Structure 1
Amino acid sequence: MKIAALETFLVPPRWLFLRIATDEGVTGWGEPVVEGRAETVRAAVHELSDHLIGQDPLRIEHHWQVLTKGGFYRGGPVLSSAVAGIDQALWDIAGKVHGVPVHHLLGGPVRDRARVYGWIGGDSPTDVAEQARAQVEAGFTAVKMNGAARLRHIDTPARTREIVDRVAAVREVLGDDRDVAVDFHGRMSTAMSRRLLPLLEPLQPLFVEEPVLPEHSRDLRRVVESSSVPIAVGERLFSRWDFRDVLASGIAVAQPDVSHAGGISEVRRIAALAETYDVAMAPHCPLGPIALAASLQIAFATPNFLIQEQSLGIHYNRGADLLDHLLDPTPFRFVDGYAARPTGPGLGIDIDEDAVRRAAETGHRWRNPVWHHEDGAFAEW
């Protein structure tokens, strides 16, 4: 069996899908994308295809090594995301060839179901409380919320209290038997993190995500040591080498993204490395169905898995949602806040190719917002 062709599809709202075809009719799907840079990653995929056409798709590790190291200039989110989608598709093919789910090829399942969480939006305590209540009614046992909008390097006591009040409103709805995670998107400085995190301790968040930017990872130990709140980072780290020093800083949760961090092959290795530091895995995944399917395959084969992000109903998915490109939505029917172990071959989902091709006729040009402070200076989104 040989790789015959690679096709990419810009799929609204902000996704990029990849289809790898073989000369024996077996196809695999992947999701290689950097949100807001989909066309750039698409070009990288097609550049990398020169190494793949005519090759055996089952030599997954060999292809990973060549694609990541075969160029003199290595690394970065564009290359690692392009490789990630290719890697997902090759694992999908391998599972279909052998007639088993990918997690079976990774050593078999270590659990029967995987906990997932839902996203909530809203600006005021009332807004977030209402959305948290809706997720509880939908059966979720955990939610994630934005911690704050734009923040100054050191913001006012009023802004600090506003953040705490919003989290408190969600905690009141959830009670003590459910969890809330708080995502700061790298919007806080180290100083602001050290001020705020101790105030969140009584609310016991499951974790606080990206309190500081990844370029300030060297300061994570000071952030970690400032409070007992578990710290989670990793959506903007793209390899086990990126995680090496971060894991040693004392974080509680690693969040590699299977569509950014080199695919199933590399996220699996990051998970094993994280385990040696007593760090749990909560993979980042606000993307489409292929990325989620790949993430869940890892979840079922990973001992230190904690919880999985998923994008059903997320605010980004305007005009299209997670289930719109599946022939059968059953794999993503969550019961009591858990995903059942997938049993289908490969990634465990059947992509509606006709729906994907129709969506790609429209395509997208999604860009993340660009924020500014009141004085006109750039602000982190």
Structure 2
Amino acid sequence: MSVRIIDIREVTKPISSPIRNAYIDFSKMTSSLVAVVTDAFRDGKRVIGYGFNSNGRYGQGGLIRERFAPRILAADPASLLDDAGTNLDPNRVWAATMSNEKPGGHGERSVAVGTIDMAVWDAVSKIAGVPLFQLLAERHGVSANPRVFVYAAGGYYYPGKDLGALRAEMRSYLKRGYNVVKMKIGGASLEEDSARIEAVLQEIGPDAQLAVDANGRFDLDTAIAYAKMLRDYPLFWYEEAGDPLDYHLQATLAEYYPGAMATGENLFSHQDARNLIRYGAMRPDRDYLQFDCALSYGLVEYERTLEVLKTFGWSPSRCIPHGGHQMSLNIAAGLGLGGNESYPDLFQPYGGFPDGVKVIDGHITMPELPGIGFEGKADLYAQMSALAQP
């Protein structure tokens, strides 16, 4: 049985919200939803793979519809298959997607390709009849661990949001089973942010840990000033202090902040990941890397990134991806990542877990759903299945 991709569909959806971080507001944010339609059938249903891009980058409809999808559809169908000829080969589909592309130029292109790549992997694991995390573990010769650490990301700036509302938000995450929570900093003065941090730490007490995220807002002097303030608190990590490509800032900051730091969500290739490790003075014994496959050319490229990290002595367990989506959950369970971000109340229906999955002691257990598991999340699958209709 051979498999063909017979259509690739995209729709741009709003995920707007009045929230803001230190750099952007989300009032006009969008996301691309993609369906890769195949001629394969499983259990009497046509196999359709789905994907979308993570929050923080806008929908990529133009690039997907006008540039990348046509290349896949124009390729010789046999050239997209695995060696057995019975399933799609994500690496070969990726190669067709990126044909006639020059090196470099990461950014919006990487988001478009990553969205398609997610849908391809969803289709491949559905055709194989297994959850993606099991497929990945088998391909890499490792044991899958369906129990995945997750943390609750929130603490955004919001019109009229006072310390009481911030404390209530963080307490709600603990009630839902999380034991690590994250809040935004850098969108107010250092003094105001210090008060916000102290309020949250008082609220969560010894029951949880707090991470803080500056979303790349700071110059070097401000990043250092915050480091001197933050190092007095027992934080889980200090995230993305400066511009993601300012490796000198990151390296210098390590001289002032002995605790864990995290960055990488806005680096979109294995080459950029390699430069971060080479020049950013990231510490493999304590720091975390947040590369998000949905923004960085997909899982095909993420596997290359993991190989780069391996050559520098980094364990996959130091990777906790940005984005809060089920694709990264599957990668974490299948390839031994350290966990995944989660947005309990934001960016729905794209974030979160399949229905019925609960957070227990800061972890979730992956359900045995073929593919990425989107069909197990009713609100998300309603939008996906609508896109796939003839």
TM-score under structure 2 length normalisation: 0.78
Shift of the 118–107 alpha-carbon distance from structure 1 to 2, 3 Å rule, reads same
Q: Which amino acid aligns with 2:68?
A: L
How far apart are 1:69 and its partner, in Å?
Answer: 5.1
Which whole-Å CA distance do the structure 1 matches of 2:210 and 2:54 have between them? Answer: 27
TM-score under structure 1 length normalisation: 0.80
Per-residue Cα deviation, 1:274-318 (whole angstroms, up to 9, x for no partner) = 3544361110005xxxxx111111111233x2231122302xx4x
How far apart are 1:322 and its partner, in Å?
Answer: 4.3
What does 1:238-249 correspond to in 2, within 5 Å? 238-248=268-278, 249=280
Aligned match of 1:234 in 264, 269, 294?
264
Which whole-Å CA distance do the structure 2 matches of 1:278 and 1:72 have between them? Answer: 29
Is residue 117 from structure 1 mapped to residue 151 from structure 2 by the alignment? Answer: yes
Question: In the alignment, is the contact (CA less than 8 A) between 2:68 and 2:98 conserved in 1?
Answer: no
Aligned match of 1:44 in 60, 63, 68?
63
SS in 2 for 1:175: helix
Question: In the alignment, is the contact (CA less than 8 A) between 1:87 and 1:262 conserved in 2?
Answer: yes
Shift of the 219–294 alpha-carbon distance from structure 1 to 2, 3 Å rule, reads same
- Deviation larger for 223-232 or 333-342: 333-342
Shift of the 226–199 alpha-carbon distance from structure 1 to 2, 3 Å rule, reads same
Is residue 29 from structure 1 mapped to residue 29 from structure 2 by the alignment? Answer: no
CA RMSD of the aligned region, Å? Answer: 2.6
Which whole-Å CA distance do the structure 2 matches of 1:231 and 1:357 have between them? Answer: 36
Query: What is the aligned-residue identity percentage?
Result: 23
Question: In the alignment, is the contact (CA less than 8 A) between 1:76 and 1:238 conserved in 2?
Answer: yes
Is residue 337 from structure 1 mapped to residue 337 from structure 2 by the alignment? Answer: no
Is residue 294 from structure 1 mapped to residue 330 from structure 2 by the alignment? Answer: no
Q: Which amino acid aligns with 1:230?
A: A
What does 1:53-72 correspond to in 2, within 5 Å? 53=73, 55=77, 56=80, 58-68=88-98, 70-72=100-102
Q: Which amino acid aligns with 1:142?
A: V
Question: Unpaired segments of 5 or more residues in structure 2?
Answer: 16-29, 41-45, 82-87
Which whole-Å CA distance do the structure 2 matches of 1:33 and 1:134 have between them? Answer: 24
Counterpart position of 1:266: 301
Which whole-Å CA distance do the structure 2 matches of 1:176 and 1:34 have between them? Answer: 31
Counterpart position of 2:43: none
Question: In the alignment, is the contact (CA less than 8 A) between 1:238 and 1:261 conserved in 2?
Answer: yes
Q: Count matched residues.
A: 337
Question: In the alignment, is the contact (CA less than 8 A) between 1:198 and 1:226 conserved in 2?
Answer: yes
Counterpart position of 1:20: 36
Which whole-Å CA distance do the structure 1 matches of 2:154 and 2:351 have between them? Answer: 19
Q: Which amino acid aligns with 1:219?
A: L
Counterpart position of 1:92: 122
Which whole-Å CA distance do the structure 1 matches of 2:162 and 2:103 have between them? Answer: 46
What does 1:244-259 correspond to in 2, within 5 Å? 244-248=274-278, 249-251=280-282, 252-259=287-294
Counterpart position of 2:314: 278
Which whole-Å CA distance do the structure 1 matches of 2:145 and 2:276 have between them? Answer: 27
Question: In the alignment, is the contact (CA less than 8 A) between 1:8 and 1:16 conserved in 2?
Answer: yes
Which whole-Å CA distance do the structure 1 matches of 2:381 and 2:172 have between them? Answer: 33
